[in-house]
Structure 1
């Protein structure tokens, strides 16, 4: 969902105070298409649609977020005032290109993992300020899990929390402050801390920057203590397309990957005027 106030903020940034370039063309009704120039998993359909509707542009698409399309496929058929289309063009293409790039990369990760397990591929909070919710929705479109949308979604105890107050004190404090709907997640680097955190009743444990062999060892220690089924296990840190298959084989429940957003490449999408409705 995109709000009108968000659209207006984006438009203000792009148009500025003296838009001459878009007003050079005569105002007339035109038809156009938006199409992909490479194979991809499309995302940002609703956002793009709402932006164009704000400008009074009529849109038609048969696609939904998550659809796989080929180079040359049409994403939108549109019609409207020529100046309005030019003003909406860059904003629409920026969102489609960026979000489709995230969805496409996420799908690659998910397909690799599915060869070995049902482990979830999740995002992180390493997102672009101001447009996180759109990037998270693109991860969902690619088949991934968004993880936390913000700090209020769950309580995560990270290394700096532990350094500041100790593992056990941090967990005790989190359990006192947590609402009944909030899960508590703890980041650990050793099997010993994983066992302590699980015994204290946390919901999720994140193995931080562990190699696959270390992950397997820690899981075995939890099984030996009869604790493995009491907690969701997440692994994160240094995971990429080259090594995610090794983590998928370990038996963890979630693999979180920050690069779903910050290493994704924009998909090449374009808008062209056409003579008649295509």
Structure 2
């Protein structure tokens, strides 16, 4: 088997308590008020099938536990065997997950399972492409943002980790991130930072976004745990990293693509954050083959 991007030691599965409400909501949305009327009238109640979720193209898989749960929530009698856990690289034609059980149950859960696993695998694959693109350029890490699909954040951020990336904050409540609008309304970099420092607990990190080197110098004078260097070209980023000189974490953002990421990583920034891996990544094409 080819090595996976994130080993099972480092990529712990999400707790069922987090995943189940998402999958239940998706199933309820699809089943509506009367259930799967097509399958119920076409497929005999006693029919059974064997099937497999198979990759139609190469990529990195994620969302496997959600797909597994979609089938077993519909019917605990469906037997599921996972061949490729989250974080595994797959080639076209390879089996990701195998199923056996009541045909009606498997067919009724099929679309929800595929929607989730294709979406999450697309995110993992896009993340992996960025991770591979910057690998020769140093130690920068690819991190995601809060630009996630409403209701799917926990799965999408897990998919980023499956692709070899890391997570930025999960929500508004787990870190202070002072952005340009905060700075404008607060009256500048210094008052924004001073107010944050005076109000937060000792375990809460403070990051601030800057657009210019002058703003950066002001932040360095006051102090912050991390600095978001927004929409800077590689030359400016390199100068920013030089001025920081390891005193705090540096994060680059803005127009990050597979083509632009290597030059950004080469500047020496610690993190490269991007929203498109969660809000715009194409799905990975996976399908259910039955026998």
TM-score range relative to shorter protein? over 0.9
Distance 1:22 1:183 in 2: 52
- The reply on whether 1:143 has 2:159 as its aligned counterpart is no
Q: Match of 2:137, SS? A: coil
Distance 2:247 2:191 in 1: 21
- The reply on whether 1:42 has 2:64 as its aligned counterpart is no
Unaligned runs of 5+ in 1: none
Match of 2:43 in 1: 25
Q: Match of 2:257, SS? A: coil
Contact 2:145 2:273 in 1 (8 A): yes
Give the one of 113, 125, 144 matched to 1:92: 113
- The reply on whether 1:169 has 2:195 as its aligned counterpart is no
Match of 1:244 in 2: 261
- The reply on whether 1:52 has 2:71 as its aligned counterpart is yes
Shift of 1:269: 0.7
Match of 1:261 in 2: 278
- The reply on whether 1:235 has 2:257 as its aligned counterpart is no
**Pairs within 5 Å for 1:153-232:** 153-165=174-186, 166-220=188-242, 222=243, 227-232=244-249
Q: Match of 1:152, SS? A: coil
Shift of 1:15: 1.2
Match of 1:11 in 2: 27
Q: Match of 2:66, SS? A: helix
Q: Match of 2:97, SS? A: strand
Distance 1:3 1:102 in 2: 17
Shift of 1:210: 0.6
Give the structure-1-normalised TM-score.
Answer: 0.93
Match of 1:119 in 2: 140
Shift of 1:8: 2.2
Distance 1:144 1:66 in 2: 11
Unaligned runs of 5+ in 2: 1-13
Query: How far does the alpha carbon of each residue in 1:98-156 deviate from its partner, in whole angstroms, 9 at most, with x for none?
Result: 11011011101000110111101111111111101111110000000111111112100
Contact 2:27 2:70 in 1 (8 A): no
The total of aligned residue pairs comes to: 269
Shift of 1:4: 3.4
Distance 1:41 1:3 in 2: 20
Distance 1:263 1:185 in 2: 25
Contact 2:54 2:93 in 1 (8 A): yes
Shift of 1:157: 0.2
- The reply on whether 1:105 has 2:126 as its aligned counterpart is yes
Distance 1:8 1:68 in 2: 28
Shift of 1:49: 1.4
Query: How far does the alpha carbon of each residue in 1:157-201 deviate from its partner, in whole angstroms, 9 at most, with x for none?
Result: 000000001211111111122222211000001112112212322
Give the structure-2-normalised TM-score.
Answer: 0.89
Shift of 1:3: 4.1
Shift of 1:259: 1.2
Give the one of 70, 78, 83 matched to 1:62: 83
Q: Match of 2:147, SS? A: coil
